[in-house]
Structure 1
């Protein structure tokens, strides 16, 4: 089994589709890696991952909007295709099993306990309070 985990920003608002009576939420996550090349110049490389989440929990779709930072986990797939000019191409996609909202641009990260949406455990809607009373109990 292959497992992929990604943290990145949504490239656009998600789209909810119905395929043969089942709901699928499609979204795209972008992860940008910043590094220095051999000459010491700052470089950026952005990897785009197309995500498909087959779920009945479509209520989260209102929160999956462009710019939001998310964590997604699932099984990776590579799809090959032929471009219009005849060259071959490939797309990295993820069959999502779990999604967590982390925040958005300018918001900073929001801990899962303070309003995240962990589909693998609770299934509860995100809370709007953004407070976390357990933070005072941390030993560091």
Structure 2
């Protein structure tokens, strides 16, 4: 079994499609890695992943908007294609099994803590953030 996990920002708002009576949520996630090259210069490399989540739980689509940070997990797929100039190319895509909202910078507000929504559980979890409600389960 191949499994891929990605954390990144949505490149645009998601699109909900209906294919043969089933719903699919399509979105694109950008993951940027920062590194130093051999000359010591700071560099950035962005990898774009096209995601398809086949689910009946389309209510999450209103939260999958450009700039939001998400965690997505599923099976990777590579799609080959021919460009208009005749050269061949490849695109990385992910058949999503689970999505979790991590927050975002689109509206300038603070990230949402554990605003998760997974295909396995089917419901959002919003535990209390800070305050006296936090539980310390460390033995020391």
Q: TM-score, normalised by structure 2?
A: 0.87
| Residues 30-69 of structure 1 mapped to structure 2, 5 A cutoff | 30-69=30-69
Distance 1:36 1:53, change over 3 A: same
Instruction: Report the CA distance shift for 1:70/1:52 in structure 2 as closer, same or farther (over 3 A).
Output: same
Q: How many pairs does the alignment contain?
A: 136
| 8 Å Cα contact 1:100/1:119 also seen in 2 | no
- What pairs with 1:70-89 in structure 2 (closer than 5 Å)? 70-89=70-89
| CA contact 1:70–1:102 (8 Å) conserved in 2 | yes
* Unpaired segments ≥5 residues, structure 2: none
CA contact 1:60–1:125 (8 Å) conserved in 2: no
Q: Residue 131 of structure 1 corresponds to which residue in structure 2?
A: 129
Give the superposed CA RMSD: 2.1
| Unmatched 5+ stretches in structure 1 | none
The answer on whether the counterparts of 1:26 and 1:51 sit within 8 Å (CA) in structure 2 is yes
TM-score relative to the length of structure 1: 0.87
